[in-house]
């Protein structure tokens, strides 16, 4: 294996970080720099994404009371116990949830231009995990069956009026969403 040498200029913060890692791990500087570079390359998209705007917006929603932090287990409990007669969701719950979806549909009209943007936002909020599977095609995974039916209903209703249509193909634990 050929070895290439690189000379790197480091500011005080970078040197301090490297010194700290050397001290904590007992490994050499060269090994740590190689590992850091390999890690950065493997995680380039996450490392270079501008999440600060989303984080700031989410912080504003939390601090204004528009959103709340809720243990995901509580959310699963709520969703599992909204059943009415016959095992179907209580119609009053569905009416209320649909009003929330309609409000978000109005809000989203000026916010999202693609299904990817919408799904990324919902993923950021913790309701689902999304992976782009191809051009305008997304694999969406939900943490539970109750979250799946609830969020699919929300996505379909809150996406009304956006400049695209969604085709949803349900699997067992995930769905395929295609922007049309």
pLDDT at 55 over 80: no
Which pLDDT score, from 0 to 100, does residue 86 have?
74
Which pLDDT score, from 0 to 100, does residue 43 have?
67
Tell me, yes or no, if the pTM score tops 0.75. no
How confident is the model over 72-110, as pLDDT tens digits?
A: 788 878 888 887 677 788 899 999 999 999 999 999 999
> At 38, is the pLDDT very low, low, confident or very high (cuts 50, 70, 90)?
confident
As a whole number, the mean pLDDT across the chain is 87
> Which of the 8 DSSP states describes residue 160?
T
> Which of the 8 DSSP states describes residue 119?
H
137-141 and 166-170: which strand pairing? unpaired
3-state SS track over 16-84: HHHHHHHHHHCCCHHHHHHHHHHHHHHCHHHHHCCHHHHHHHHHHHHHHCCCCCCCHHHHHHHHHCCEC
How confident is the model over 127-169, as pLDDT tens digits?
A: 889 999 999 999 999 888 888 989 999 999 999 999 999 999 9
Q: Please tell me which residue, 54 or 115, carries the higher pLDDT value.
A: 115
The residues that bridge with 176 in the sheet, in sequence order, are: 139, 169
């Amino acid at each position: 294996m050929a070895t290439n040498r690189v000379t790197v200029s480091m500011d005080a913060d970078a040197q301090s970080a490297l010194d700290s890692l050397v001290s904590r791990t007992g490994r050499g500087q060269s090994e740590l720099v190689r590992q850091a570079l390999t890690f950065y390359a493997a995680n380039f998209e996450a490392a270079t994404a501008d999440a600060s705007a989303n984080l700031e917006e989410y912080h504003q929603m939390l601090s204004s009371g528009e959103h709340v932090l809720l243990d995901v287990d509580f959310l699963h409990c709520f969703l599992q116990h909204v059943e009415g007669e016959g095992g179907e969701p209580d119609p009053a719950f569905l009416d209320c949830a649909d009003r929330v979806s309609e409000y978000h549909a109005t809000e989203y009209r000026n916010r999202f231009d693609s299904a990817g943007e919408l799904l990324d936002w919902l993923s950021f909020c913790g309701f689902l995990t999304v992976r782009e599977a191809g051009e305008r095609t997304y694999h969406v995974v939900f943490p539970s069956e109750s979250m799946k039916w609830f969020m699919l209903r929300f996505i379909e209703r809150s996406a009304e009026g956006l400049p695209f249509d969604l085709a949803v193909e349900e699997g067992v634990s995930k769905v395929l969403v295609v922007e049309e």
